[in-house]
Structures are given as C-alpha cells and as structure tokens.
C-alpha cells in the first residue's frame, strides 16, 4: 500500500516505524520541515556540536538529544523516536559506510547524541511558492553539489571545506532568492556565492562531486548555497568509531512547519 504524500508527519513516522514506508521522503508532508540526521557518541558529539556552532550556514542545528542516550526528540514532533522514525539509515565505522538499515535499535548506545540539521527542502519550498523554478526539481534529479575552497572553522577532529549546492536562475530570481532565503537562517540561509564558480574553487560546473549536473540556460547565473553534505564530509574526516546518518533523501520528517523556520 503506497503512502499518500499529503499524510501528516506523525502518521508518516508511525508508518516508517512499523516498516510500512521504507522509501525516500521527498515530496511527503508538504509544508513540514525535513532534516538531515547525524548520530555520534558523546566523545565526538561535543566536538561536532562545536563544529556546527562555528559553521551555522552549512550546519544549522534544528534539534538534538537533550542528553546522551536520549533517542526521543519531542521538540521535533509528537512521539519522535530517532531510532525508528527515519526510513533508511546509513551506519559508518571509522568514517566508512558499513551498512544501510531501516531501524537502528541494535546500534543505539547509551552515550549517543542525535543531531537534526536543517536542509534545503525548506527553502526550496519557499522559492517555489514565490514562483521561482528549481532546476533540479524540474529536471527530476538530485541537486548538484560541489566541494569549494571556502574553509569551515575546525572543532577538534572535525574539519572540512564548505560543500555547496547550486541552483541556476535568472538574475532577478537570484536577487529574490537571496531575499527569501535570508529569512531562513536555520535552513542554510542566504546563498554564499553566485556567478563565477572558479572564485570559490569549483573547477567544472558540469561535474558536481555530489548529486547530478543540471542545465544552466543562457542568461542564468549559478547560485550557491551552503550544503548539509559539509557536516557529512567533516564526520568522514573525523573517523568516529561509529556514526549513523540518514540515507540520502530518507529524512526525518518533523512536525515543525517550514514557514515557522522563517525569522521574519
């Protein structure tokens, strides 16, 4: 039985918990915040928290465990259990992927801290509502993402350069996108850059390191946002003995509304 996309976040999480929905969450529960998950043991979590605080544009925290071992995140939604309510998890050991699972009860440890980070779905929704085309959505592919030379501030074992996502648009739309996204600092906020990719160390705009290339039409400029892949790169570099994230596109869907992410 397929899940209706307009289902409530609570109902979707319950289905996911019961194993009835194991696919991605793209397009589900429109209007509600979806977030990137990172779970780390306390010895790494403290440094990761500092890394996020120092680099809020790529790593905007919208929720975390209230203490080590806490897998319930009531601030993010009714009855959220972070061990079961994400449709697909990726388990890392020493920075390398070990397996993908649909439930992490067997991996959960008493010292684990879960972080939920804001993601671009929220601001893409606001841009679309304003009539701005999001090329990767139009073309049905993943957003193109690139490593840059923009340094992040390091925290303990966590360090990275900034990974950015790119959306091409007409100049007038880029100005409007800067205005709209400035209202959403907790989901990456305003773009970091537009125009010349080389200026931020991107060699080939047609060869993204993550995601897929998209068409850039005549008269359009590439617009670059800080991307939630940045903390993943930092985690891989820190090589914690264990780390659990969501699998790409398989997010935690919260009860928070996207519009409540706006500061204005």
Q: Which residues bind its own copies (CB under 8 A)?
A: 171-172, 174-175, 178-179, 182, 190-196, 199, 219, 221, 264
Q: How many CA atoms within 13 Å lie on the side-chain side of 61?
A: 19
> Distance between CA 49 and CA 165 in Å, rounded?
22
Residue closer to its own copies (CB basis): 76 or 192: 192
Q: How far is the CB of 198 from its own copies (least distance, A)?
A: 10
**Is-contact 93 239, C-beta < 8 A?**
no
84 touches 140 (CB < 8 A): no
Q: Which is nearer to its own copies, 63 or 222 (CB)?
A: 222
d(CA 87, CA 256): 18
Q: How far is the CB of 207 from its own copies (least distance, A)?
A: 22
Tokens representing residue 99 in the block: 């397996």
State how far the Cα of 47 lies from the Cα of 50, in Å rounded to an integer: 5
Which residue, 41 or 185, is less far from its own copies as judged by CB? 185
Closer by beta carbon to its own copies, 1 or else 172: 172
Residue closer to its own copies by CB (options 91, 132) is 132
User: Of 1 and 264, which has the nearer Cβ to its own copies?
Assistant: 264
CB of 175 to its own copies, least distance (A): 6
Nearest-approach distance from CB 127 to its own copies, in angstroms = 15
15 vs 170 by CB, closer to its own copies: 170
In whole angstroms, the minimum distance from the beta carbon of 176 to its own copies comes to: 8
Q: How far is CA 107 from the centre of its chain?
A: 22
Distance CA 157, CA 196 (A): 32
Per DSSP, helices labelled H in 183-258 are 229-238
- Give the 3-state secondary structure of residue 155: strand
- 8 A C-beta contact, residue 157 and residue 44: yes
> Where does the chain have alpha helices with state H?
9-17, 42-54, 120-129, 135-138, 171-182, 229-238
Q: How far is the CB of 6 from its own copies (least distance, A)?
A: 33
Give the whole-angstrom CA distance, residue 256 versus residue 130. Answer: 20
Minimum separation from the CB atom of position 190 to its own copies (A):
6
């Amino acid at each position: 039985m397929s899940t209706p996309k307009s289902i409530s976040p609570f109902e979707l999480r319950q289905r996911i918990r019961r194993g009835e929905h194991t696919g991605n969450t793209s397009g589900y529960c429109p209007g509600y915040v979806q977030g990137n998950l990172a779970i780390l043991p306390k010895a790494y979590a403290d440094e990761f928290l500092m890394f996020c605080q120092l680099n809020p544009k790529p790593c905007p925290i919208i929720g975390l465990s209230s203490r080590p071992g806490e897998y319930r995140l009531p601030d993010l939604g009714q009855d959220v259990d972070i061990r079961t309510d994400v449709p697909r998890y990726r388990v890392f050991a020493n920075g390398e992927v070990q397996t993908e699972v649909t439930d992490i009860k067997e991996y959960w440890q008493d010292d684990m801290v879960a972080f939920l980070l804001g993601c671009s779905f929220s601001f893409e929704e606001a841009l679309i509502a304003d009539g701005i085309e999001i090329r990767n959505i139009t073309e049905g592919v993943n957003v193109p993402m690139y490593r840059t030379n923009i340094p992040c501030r390091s925290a303990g074992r966590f360090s990275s350069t900034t990974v950015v996502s790119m959306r091409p648009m007409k100049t007038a739309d880029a100005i409007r996108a800067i205005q709209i996204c400035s209202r959403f600092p907790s989901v990456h906020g305003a773009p970091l850059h537009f125009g010349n990719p080389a200026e931020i160390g991107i060699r080939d705009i047609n060869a993204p390191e993550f995601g897929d290339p998209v068409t850039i039409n005549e008269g359009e400029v590439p617009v670059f946002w800080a991307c939630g892949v940045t903390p993943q790169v930092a985690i891989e570099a820190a090589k914690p003995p264990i780390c659990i994230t969501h699998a790409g596109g398989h997010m935690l869907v919260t009860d928070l509304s996207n519009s409540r992410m706006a500061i204005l």
